[in-house]
Structure 1
């Protein structure tokens, strides 16, 4: 009964994670978590049907009845490295309703990303085919493809105000405090210099507690930079 289940019901494997990969042998840096998950019971959106199935009407209802609760996904959630030409900036052209520049993202896939996802394709294809499915559809980034915001890829975006020990190469110090304005603390995955394959939520929580402890025990008693530049 998927309709009573959670939307994040899955099993994860770290067989191809950063701790397991021989980077020199495979030709890329950074690993990937493998997630095998069932679809939840969201109407229409979660009704995965084979190609050629009717989009509506009695034929669609018949296909839904046959395949409801009989589909799943196997996906990879991979690492993404930092690059000098991938960054956030203020857009020189577009502005919001208040006349302030909109945030502009400059980003594209790199060869390392493609090699990693193609490696995972080989692993996932083998697992999927061993299950002898009635229908199997795969979608992985191929060489030459460019980043596109339209297809859902993940909402776990990171970066933009990276944490570090040098104000020349980071926006916030190890306590998530702005190097430039000492009473500004940035909490969130934006402080990650890069994505290291895992969903960032738990680490964001840990870093927030770390920063809050420093604010309470150090900053409030003596406001100012917690790390000397």
Structure 2
């Protein structure tokens, strides 16, 4: 097979354009380095009418917005999903890991919930509290200056609350709670459950002339055409290009491996062009992997050579191991007091205006770590299947709802906005045996060996989700509501989501000081090869009960500064 080699030698090749890759692109390009960004999906700009789904009506979709093509609905901006034609993955016996991929410039930052939480001091040193897992080789104080920078560069709304393990930041004004959230606040107070304004990366006031202000359409999952919410393309890569950065974008480019020389040092990457199906090689002095925790592990494991027979950076045999995702449990309810409600303006951001951070002491509980509570409800844009499930209403309350024509419209008006829901997102315990590895029998349509997953929840995660459901039922009772659906049984593992379904996978290239038990050092540099770095969530030693994106961004900035420093010192 003919391989086409580029004659250009880049200072840095960055694989992946999501949170970690986007931040590395901006910082390194702003420092004057010549950058190649290699992305497995197409170019994407939500301001381009060709890509825009924001502010479209359900009738503009042949599926009325239903999720039969895209997992989160027809207007969701993610190009991809848990299952992508021609790009399979497999599971071992008893494993049901689900791997979500967004193949597009900006990756999963185009449609994420934009919940932007810092890890706290305890989150970096969990072993010190419960003896489980491992501590990070760095602490909160190492990352705090970069959290501060990310807050100021990107923008995040919220309030300073003085909570020790939910650190304060530099916040924009938060939006006010809507009616269903006021009900939630009132119900939570009855059980001494704290509720604070959300911390989300949408601009509620202007921070520069390049981005607009949120106009409360509530459609952030569609990617913002005025760049008011954070996406890596619109907020990091595009500004770096406009400021004169030397950036070459290679889209629809599926990376096969990191190439190396006879000394075992990285020389660039090899990729398959999805359009002409030919293989190309790029040359670079430094390679930065930011393809996502599992994709970066796959690239390393497929990068075998005489010098790296077990895969690049895998002398420890740790690449792919300690994979873990957030726990998840959810419940919904019917609130009679919200029936026949008055219509008024309750638009807002695409997500919750308030949330509950972890509030309990695990020493008094039978599981480790904690979770936060997300709440949804209100009068969002109706779409196919919205509002209420008439089967649930009939089954649990004996209410005859539904119908056709005018009776159906009357029922919708009566119940519109009367349902609320809760989602718990918690911290799992990293397990060495929870892993992804190369499946020796399966390749994708480009001929690249695919990943095989092995993953099992432990009793800690299952009990934690059981606690979520107990809490949700208590909150619903306090709100004067009725639970929709039965409580999942212990035999059903308390209704815990399948691993991967929360889309917070981390830990496959873990950080550590000992090369025998970790893949990268505290600067996210491979122990085995000093000119390869990983800036996605793979280096995470543990997840925390927070969404990982803000920490990915902060650590990527920290690593980028280290790369610049090391280049100046001629160490790499």
TM-score class, shorter-chain normalisation, is 0.7 to 0.9
**How far 1:214 sits from its partner (Å)?**
0.5
Partner of 2:445: 97
CA RMSD of aligned residues (A): 3.0
Inter-partner Cα distance in structure 1 for 2:571 and 2:403: 63
Return 31-40 or 198-207, whichever deviates more. Answer: 31-40
Contact 2:371/2:425 (<8 A) preserved? yes
Inter-partner Cα distance in structure 2 for 1:189 and 1:213: 18
Given candidates 110, 121, 135, the residue that maps to 2:469 is 121
**How far 1:77 sits from its partner (Å)?**
0.8
- Relative to structure 1, the CA distance from residue 106 to residue 70 in structure 2 (aligned partners, 3 Å threshold; closer, same or farther) is same
Secondary structure of the corresponding residue to residue 421 of structure 2: strand
Size of the alignment, in residue pairs? 219
Inter-partner Cα distance in structure 2 for 1:173 and 1:5: 42
Partner of 2:316: none
TM-score by length of structure 2 reads 0.35
- Relative to structure 1, the CA distance from residue 100 to residue 9 in structure 2 (aligned partners, 3 Å threshold; closer, same or farther) is same
Higher RCO, Cα 8 Å, sep 6+: 2
Return 97-106 or 59-68, whichever deviates more. Answer: 59-68
Given candidates 7, 21, 43, the residue that maps to 2:350 is 7
Given candidates 533, 540, 549, the residue that maps to 1:192 is 540
Partner of 1:32: 371
Inter-partner Cα distance in structure 1 for 2:540 and 2:418: 38
Secondary structure of the corresponding residue to residue 103 of structure 1: strand
Inter-partner Cα distance in structure 2 for 1:13 and 1:204: 22
Contact 1:4/1:41 (<8 A) preserved? no
- Relative to structure 1, the CA distance from residue 180 to residue 66 in structure 2 (aligned partners, 3 Å threshold; closer, same or farther) is farther
Aligned pairs (5 A) from 1:120-199: 120-137=468-485, 142-143=490-491, 145=493, 149=498, 153-199=501-547
**How far 1:3 sits from its partner (Å)?**
8.6
**How far 1:36 sits from its partner (Å)?**
2.2
Contact 1:177/1:183 (<8 A) preserved? yes
**How far 1:221 sits from its partner (Å)?**
3.1
Alignment partner of 1:215 is 2:558: no
Contact 2:358/2:545 (<8 A) preserved? no
Could you give the per-residue CA deviations for residues 24-78 of structure 1, whole angstroms, max 9, x where no partner exists?
x312111111222335425226434342587885465544333322222122111
Inter-partner Cα distance in structure 2 for 1:33 and 1:214: 33
Inter-partner Cα distance in structure 2 for 1:165 and 1:142: 39
**How far 1:15 sits from its partner (Å)?**
4.5
Inter-partner Cα distance in structure 1 for 2:430 and 2:567: 30
- Relative to structure 1, the CA distance from residue 41 to residue 168 in structure 2 (aligned partners, 3 Å threshold; closer, same or farther) is farther
Inter-partner Cα distance in structure 2 for 1:179 and 1:141: 45
- Relative to structure 1, the CA distance from residue 48 to residue 184 in structure 2 (aligned partners, 3 Å threshold; closer, same or farther) is farther
Could you give the per-residue CA deviations for residues 73-92 of structure 1, whole angstroms, max 9, x where no partner exists?
12211111111210111112
Partner of 2:288: none
- Relative to structure 1, the CA distance from residue 169 to residue 93 in structure 2 (aligned partners, 3 Å threshold; closer, same or farther) is same
Contact 2:426/2:546 (<8 A) preserved? yes
Inter-partner Cα distance in structure 1 for 2:443 and 2:403: 41
Q: Which runs of 5+ in 2 are unaligned?
A: 1-343, 395-399
- Relative to structure 1, the CA distance from residue 124 to residue 105 in structure 2 (aligned partners, 3 Å threshold; closer, same or farther) is same
Given candidates 32, 43, 63, the residue that maps to 2:383 is 43
> Larger Cα Rg: Structure 1 or Structure 2?
2
- Relative to structure 1, the CA distance from residue 131 to residue 172 in structure 2 (aligned partners, 3 Å threshold; closer, same or farther) is same
